[in-house]
Structure 1
Amino acid sequence: METVYWVLIAVVFVISFLALIYPILPGVLFLAAGFLIYGFAFSFEPFSPLFIIIQVLLFISLFVVDYAGNAYAVKKKGGSKAALWGSTIGLIAGPFVIPVAGMLIGPFLGAVLAELIFHKTGFKSSVSIGIGTVLAFVGTTIIKVFTQALMIGYFYYQVL
């Protein structure tokens, strides 16, 4: 049964990384699920207060990086809240419409169309805002990959 638990923990950790491609999946919750599965299956003893504090801070940083990166890019490029919402909707819908490539095309089109329709920004400016949202998404995704890997590495360091 021990092997089944370890496989289950590994599966939820892999799903947490898939959530970077399909943002509708709650990646952070899958990380937490892996920790909880270990705790209930084996023991919560390795989870010291320091471990919990560090993991909670990293969980929070994943949310902050996601939101702040996109908001910063849109604002820096002169975009409106409509562009922010458009890129977010595009990011969620894009991978389902065009698997994998949709995670780049979706936020771009969402931001561009939102700016053109709601903010009446010119085409060139709208495209610039769209490119900014894509670059922000790529940058925040790279940060989230490293953060999640750090969280999982720290987990294995504590329990093994």
Structure 2
Amino acid sequence: MHDAWLIGTILVMLVGVLGTVLPVLPGIPLIFIAMVGYGYAEGYQQMSLAFLGVNLLIVLISLALDYAGTAWGARRFGATSSGATAAAVGGLVGVLVLGPFGLVLGPFLGAIGGEVLQGRKLEDALEAGIGTMLGLAGASAIRFILSLAMVAFFVWRIW
């Protein structure tokens, strides 16, 4: 029974790693849920509350990275504070309206909309939108690395 839980947990974690680059899957939260499930199955002997607490912190940081990365990218490419804020809000609204695809499309459209509302030319607004996408891509790369670290620490912890 223990081996089945372990294999299932690692498979779910691998799907989670994919989810850090595919917007349709909740990558790092999925990895954490797999850890909690494995902890439950093994009576929280190896998956201590401290270990899970550290990983929960990583989950929260990764979620904040999405919004910080988009805002940073927008600002780096000349967005006003309104454009950067609209990019972050666009990410939230995008997820609510378009689901996981809104996480990518929402910040892009938000940055463009925020810049146009500030009276900037469409060309400048598009540049801010592209910067937003680059910031989101950077955040995705960091999330990917964090997901690999979480899986590696899990494997190290149980062996």
TM bucket normalised to smaller: 0.7 to 0.9
**8 Å contact 1:107–1:133 — kept in the other structure?**
no
Whole-angstrom CA distance in 2 between matches of 1:154 and 1:63: 20
Judging changes above 3 Å, is the alpha-carbon distance between structure 1 residues 88 and 60 closer, same or farther for their aligned structure 2 residues?
A: closer
* 1:126-145 C-alpha deviation (Å, 9 max, x unpaired): 11101111110111111000
Q: Superposed, which structure 2 residues align to 1:6-25 within 5 Å?
A: 6-23=6-23, 25=25
Whole-angstrom CA distance in 1 between matches of 2:95 and 2:121: 22
**8 Å contact 1:74–1:133 — kept in the other structure?**
yes
Secondary structure at the counterpart of residue 59 of structure 2: helix
- 2:90 aligned with 1:86, yes or no? yes
Q: Superposed, which structure 2 residues align to 1:11-160 within 5 Å?
A: 11-23=11-23, 25-48=25-48, 50-76=50-76, 77-79=78-80, 80=82, 81-86=85-90, 93=98, 103=104, 106=105, 109-111=108-110, 113-115=112-114, 118-160=117-159
* 1:15-71 C-alpha deviation (Å, 9 max, x unpaired): 323333443543333112111221122231123465234323322321222221112
Across the two proteins, how many residue pairs are aligned to each other?
A: 154
Structure 1: where are the runs of 5+ without partners?
Answer: none
Judging changes above 3 Å, is the alpha-carbon distance between structure 1 residues 143 and 129 closer, same or farther for their aligned structure 2 residues?
A: same
**8 Å contact 1:108–1:134 — kept in the other structure?**
yes
What is the Cα deviation at residue 88 of structure 1? 5.3
Whole-angstrom CA distance in 1 between matches of 2:147 and 2:46: 19
Whole-angstrom CA distance in 2 between matches of 1:120 and 1:21: 34
Say what the alpha-carbon RMSD is for the aligned residues. 3.1
Whole-angstrom CA distance in 1 between matches of 2:117 and 2:49: 48
Judging changes above 3 Å, is the alpha-carbon distance between structure 1 residues 124 and 95 closer, same or farther for their aligned structure 2 residues?
A: same
Judging changes above 3 Å, is the alpha-carbon distance between structure 1 residues 110 and 43 closer, same or farther for their aligned structure 2 residues?
A: same
**8 Å contact 2:107–2:129 — kept in the other structure?**
yes
Whole-angstrom CA distance in 1 between matches of 2:91 and 2:67: 11
**8 Å contact 1:115–1:121 — kept in the other structure?**
no
* 1:73-132 C-alpha deviation (Å, 9 max, x unpaired): 2234224233433355567849759xxxx95xx357514642365333211211110111
**8 Å contact 1:70–1:133 — kept in the other structure?**
yes
Calculate the TM-score normalised by the size of structure 2.
0.75
**8 Å contact 1:28–1:59 — kept in the other structure?**
yes
**8 Å contact 1:111–1:133 — kept in the other structure?**
no
